[in-house]
Structure formats: structure tokens, C-alpha cells
Structure 1
């Protein structure tokens, strides 16, 4: 509990420090209502200012290049010498090239000035590329900062934010994330002496009894399917218990790190070698689900349900969230059709059993 309290305090201090650098939500009045708008911090403002300076310098270089073209020498040194030689020999030249424009450069001066402008352009191009990399890095930091701000806000609003012990066994330490009807907390199993993830399902008090019963039915179905699964690429489900009349908790294996969806939003792409490793591990899990008796179909496999246990794409992955999964027993599988329709909470998916 003491360690968790220190971590909470440090997380809030770090967020406060990043508010000025990365940005913060600012409450602004819009008509008769107030809304929170995001304002970037000074790090983004400094980058934007430097990019404006680079644009202005580029425009100045383009202007100087145009002036340089006008001052380019019109005659070569050899041509001038031939013209001068012809005049000294008393021969008349039918066509004479005009004298150089006043203020024009010699060839050496022209090429020197041209080379300097090209070097300045090249340096600006490199600096602009460095700024783009810095901007991408800052945007990744900002995404993490926004995520942490929201997590801290949700944690402060949670009724489980004061280290309660659930079911006389699970000590809640900190909020990991919040969904529509659930909160996931990092917890410590006092019996097994290990960290776990407690997913607290909160039923809406205004729901009708049949809707509550339907939600509990789907949650119990998920638990009954998930509890029997045992594979290194599938998040383990340890326990389920009731908290009160409107909430219950499922206890899952704790995985530190982000999901694949968040990683993709941060980094845009994944190198082929790392992507191949992820696909191999996912296929390993699906092969296991297909070979157990009776087989299980996940039905909701997506980047958000693939956990990166080390927070990057170089380590192990685990599949989670079996809320839409189904056991392929004789009751809901017809081999003649090879198709199955399932729904939960208004979501419908039609998939091939193959």
C-alpha cells in the first residue's frame, strides 16, 4: 500500500510537470456551457516557432537565388578575351555581346555564392527533418500524457481509490483503465502473493432487471469459457465474485504494458520481423483454441485485445477479452452451414467457423 501510494504521488507530480511542457485541458466557456479544450505546451510552441523560422529562411534563400540568377555573368572570360583581341587587330565584329550588367559577379564569385546558398538549403532541410522527428516524439509523449491525465482523473473519481480489499483477498492498488461499464485495477492477491488485474463490472442502477440479468449472463458465460483456458498466449482468468447488488469482479492475470492498438497509434507501423512474431504468437493461441474440446471462437480479435506484455513489439503477447467468445458445441454449431451468429450489447458479428 505504501509503495502504491508513492507511485500515485509520483505519477501526479510527473503529470503536473508535463502540463506546461506537453499541454493540458483548459476549461473554456462556450455560450451557456463550459467545455474542456486541449492546449499544447511550450515544447510544441517552440517547435512551431522554429518551423516558421525555417520557412522564412527558405523563402529568403529562394529570393537570393533569383537575384543571383540576374547577376550571373553573361560572357565567359574566354569570350571577352576573343572580343578584345578582335578589336585590337582592327577587325570589325558584326555582332558584339553587351558588356556585363553593372554589379554582376564573375564566374568564380557566382559559383561561390550559388554553392553557399545550396549548403544553407541543405542545412535547413536537415534541420526540418530533425524537427519532424522531434515532433513525432513529442506527439507520442503527449498521447501518453493525455492517457495518464485521463487515468488519474478516473482514478480520483473511482469508489475503489483508497486501497480496499475485495473478497478478503484482493488489495486494489491503482487504476489501470476504465471502460463503459467497468474499471480495471492493478491489485495484489494476498493469498497467492502475486499481482493480478481486477476488472470491476459496474451495472447501471437505472437499468431494468432484465437488462442487468442479460449483462450478468454474458459475463458469466465469458467467465465459464475463459476459466478453462490455459495457454501462454492467452490471459489467464483466476476468479469471479460479487461485490454488491450492482457490481461484481473478475480477476485476471496481470500484464504490464500497452495493447497493440495503442502501440500502432503511437508508432504508425511495425517492422516486418516484429509483425511476424506477433502473428506467429496469435496463430499459436488460435490453434490452441481450435484444438481444445469443445473448440472456442474468440469473435473479437483486434489490436485492442492483443496485449504487449513488455510494452513493445519485441516481446510476448497475450490475447484477452473473451466477451464475445463462444464454445462451438452441438447447440450453436451447424456443420452444414459452417456459420454462426452471436451478439452482445447490440453488437453483431457474422463469421465463418473456418
Structure 2
């Protein structure tokens, strides 16, 4: 995997120049569509095509459990992780509704759920071609499950490293391989999602170490902790960082000692998408922490990232600043799952369609602006 990181290239400047020129010839004042124009131009650079495509799109939900839930850092029990994975597969979660709205496929990757997903829930996944959406008896789009379990949840990072370095690298490779598959299936844009009770604790720990910011600036309420719970979470993270001394110059060491399996998987996926010239839409705090890990491994990944929204989790602002990303919207969301990223997909699709489908002044017979 690591040798392949050299394939992450700079954005195609010629494609961006041609996209910009076309935008200036469309039947509108130059720059009048604001960030929609910027999005389309960057998509052109990512894909190396003056008129980029924003479909098909995929939402990838990486799922893993966290041993640190033993410390009472979450308002929900650990069992909710597998229960929500089953909900994703049944098509009944928020991410399913939002993905359907964006006409995007949902891929759920079990990289570290502490229970086995019932065999009857596993959908056979094709290796080539974008699959037709499946539907259950209620007519809802069903998700595809990829079982790539590295281990059954992380260890309790408050007492021991979350995983070994070899396990962290395997989880990164799971994400990398997922990105390769999506590229082979023809996807153009990938939205990042996650599921894992306790993962805001691991994300806050990773964010604190990689940004150098104090734990209290990045740790928040997560799934709904009260003030006492947040204080307990902050203390658990502080103690874990002191106990394990993760090396901020070595993102894999940080992942192994205080991270999460799904965080590592998402980081590997982000790197693979960039290597295969696919745009990446980052969701909230957890996926942004994963994107930060990817950027620390290979800084050239950053131009491939779009930030969907600004979460109410305090650490999200810190990580977005570290990535130099400006979110597309702020709806006070904090659900996760990839919900914000899925909601942003139609914006990217609209940006691409405007560039492709609007007429130029010459084509429409409309007079251009005079000097």
C-alpha cells in the first residue's frame, strides 16, 4: 500500500483552466455561482477532465467498536454499534435516507465490530460494475456489507494500546482496498461515514495529538454526554495520551495507540480515493480525524477533500482548521454515519451539472457583457 502513495498526483491544472474558461463563457456573470464554480473547477482537477462527473457516488460507512466504552465515555452502550449496522443494512437509518436523496450507494464495512453480523444480512458484493440498487420489501434501498474484520473491537485505550501497529496497518489497508474496489466499480465521488460507539473519544485523542491542541478543546458531548460525562471523557483521553505517549510525527503510531479501527479504515480509504482520482467528501468529527491522519501520512491528499459541514463537536472546528477546509454548510448536525457528507453530495452533483449542462453565450444566442 505505502509504495502506491506515490501515485497521488497534483490536481490537473490544465483541466482546471479549461473548466474555469468554460464557466466564464456560460450564460451568467463570471463568478456569480460562487462556490459552486469553485467546486466544479476542483472536481475537474481531481478527475483530470474539463467537464467532470459527480456520479455515481458512494457512501462508505466504516464500522468498529471501542474498548474505551468501558470507561463510561458514551451515552449509549457498545451494543448499539452492531444494532446500527443492521439498521444500515435494512435501509432504515438517516444515512440511508440521505443517500437515497443523493442517488448514492451505501457500502458498510465491518472493520472491527465486536460481534459478527448475522450471515443472512450479508449482501453478495460484485467486484466489477456499479451495482443496481437493491430494495427490501418496503422498497428501501439496501446497503452492501463488506466483512473485513481486523479484530473484534479495539482494546480499552485507557489501559492499553487500542491495537498493535500491525493491526492499525491492516485496518488502513482495508480502507485502501475498499477505495480500489470503488474505483473499479466506476464511482467518481466517495462520502465518508462511520459507526462505532466510543469513537468520538478516540477521535478526540487522535485530534489532540496530531494538532497539538489541548484535549479539552477537542473533546465534546459525542452522543449526548452531560457536563460530568464530558469531563470524565477528557480525563480518560489525557491519561491515555500520557500512558501511551503516541508520536505525533508518526500517524500510524497514533492510530495504533489511541485510535480506532474504523478511523484507520477511513484514512486508508481517503488515501486510495486520492490515488485513484476520486473526490472525497468528509463528514463530521470522526471522518475529519481520519482525513487528518491521511493528510499526515501523505499531504498531497488534501486537495481531494471537500468538507461537507461543520459539526457542533468542538474538535471538528480544530481539525477542519488543521486541514484548511471550509465546510459547505453548518446545520448544527452531530449525528455522524456520513449524514452531512451525504447531504453535501447533491451540491457537488449540482456543481458538475451546471458546468456540463448550462449553455454558453454563443450556444444560447445571448449577448455577453460589454466592456
TM-score (norm 2): 0.23
Q: As a proportion of its length, which structure holds more strand?
A: 1
Q: Which has the larger radius of gyration?
A: 1
Q: As a proportion of its length, which structure holds more helix?
A: 2
Which of structures 1 and 2 has the larger relative contact order (alpha carbons within 8 angstroms, sep 6+)?
2
